[in-house]
């Protein structure tokens, strides 16, 4: 189990590094969007290329940060049943969900997106918009993002097994990080107590 947990830590380190790097792309998108909006409204100048750069970067943020978000337990969960179970029961539900749904869905999307990205590259696909950009880089982000997300799922699966074996803490409660729901609950409790 020690080797698998080391692999999990490596996967997590990769996703953290990429997630933090991609977070800077948000700033770039905001700047490009702002400048583009000012030029369009103030000077009646517009560029399809700059609009497409915004879309490509938004896709980059969404796809490349998905694994990091999964690692930080930031994706939406529907815990109607699982919330009523013990920690071990919740982990078993996670394992079943990852094996039965999460990884098969990621593999299916990879199976569909890799040939599409390769075909786009081989054909030198370009946007049909005037002044548009080449399409293969953004299409290549799809399989790359789902590879990172699949790796995050494998890492979570390893940590779930490790938790059930008593080898690591509960992976649904990352150490030192409160979930968005926990932060909101704390904020509401603090606001109620200050009244």
For the chain of 195 residues, list the mean pLDDT of each consecutive stretch of 10.
83 90 90 86 79 87 90 75 78 89 95 94 82 84 94 92 84 65 75 76
CA atoms within 13 A on the CB side of 120: 19
Q: Is 102 exposed, middle or buried (0-12, 13-18, 19+ CB in 10 A)?
A: buried
Please tell me the predicted confidence (pLDDT) of residue 81. 73
Structural domain boundaries enclosing 144 = 2-181
Q: Tokens 């690591």 map to which residue? A: 168
Q: Tell me if 26 is assigned to some domain.
A: yes
Q: Tell me if 142 is assigned to some domain.
A: yes
Nearest alpha-carbon partner for 152 in 90, 75, 68 = 68
Q: Tell me if 52 is assigned to some domain.
A: yes
Q: Tell me if 188 is assigned to some domain.
A: no
Please tell me what DSSP assigns to residue 124: T
Q: Apex CA 153: angle with CA 160 and CA 146, to 5°?
A: 180
Please tell me the predicted confidence (pLDDT) of residue 154. 93
Q: Tell me if 94 is assigned to some domain.
A: yes
Please tell me the predicted confidence (pLDDT) of residue 174. 60
Please tell me the predicted confidence (pLDDT) of residue 157. 92
pTM, rounded to two decimals: 0.78
Q: Tell me if 187 is assigned to some domain.
A: no
The CA distance from 94 to 75, in Å, is: 13
Task: Tell me how many domains the chain contains.
Answer: 1
The CA distance from 84 to 95, in Å, is: 17
The CA distance from 150 to 63, in Å, is: 12
Q: Tell me if 195 is assigned to some domain.
A: no
Q: Tell me if 192 is assigned to some domain.
A: no
Nearest alpha-carbon partner for 155 in 19, 7, 14 = 7
């Amino acid at each position: 189990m020690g080797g698998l947990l080391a692999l999990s830590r490596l996967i997590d380190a990769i996703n953290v590094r990429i997630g933090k790097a991609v977070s800077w792309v948000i700033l770039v998108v905001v700047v490009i969007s702002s400048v583009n909006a000012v030029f369009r409204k103030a000077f009646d100048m517009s560029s399809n290329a700059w609009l497409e750069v915004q879309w490509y970067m938004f896709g980059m943020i969404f796809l490349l940060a998905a694994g990091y978000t999964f690692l930080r337990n930031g994706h939406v969960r529907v815990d109607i049943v699982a919330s009523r179970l013990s920690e071990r029961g919740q982990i078993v539900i996670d394992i079943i969900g990852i094996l039965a749904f999460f990884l098969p869905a990621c593999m299916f999307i990879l199976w569909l997106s890799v040939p599409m990205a390769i075909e786009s590259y081989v054909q030198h696909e370009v946007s049909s918009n005037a002044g548009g950009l080449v399409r293969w880089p953004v299409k290549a982000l799809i399989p790359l993002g789902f590879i990172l997300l699949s790796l995050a799922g494998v890492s979570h699966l390893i940590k779930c097994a490790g938790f059930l074996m008593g080898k690591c803490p509960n992976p649904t409660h990352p150490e030192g990080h409160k979930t968005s729901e926990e932060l909101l609950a704390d904020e509401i409790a603090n606001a109620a107590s200050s009244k």
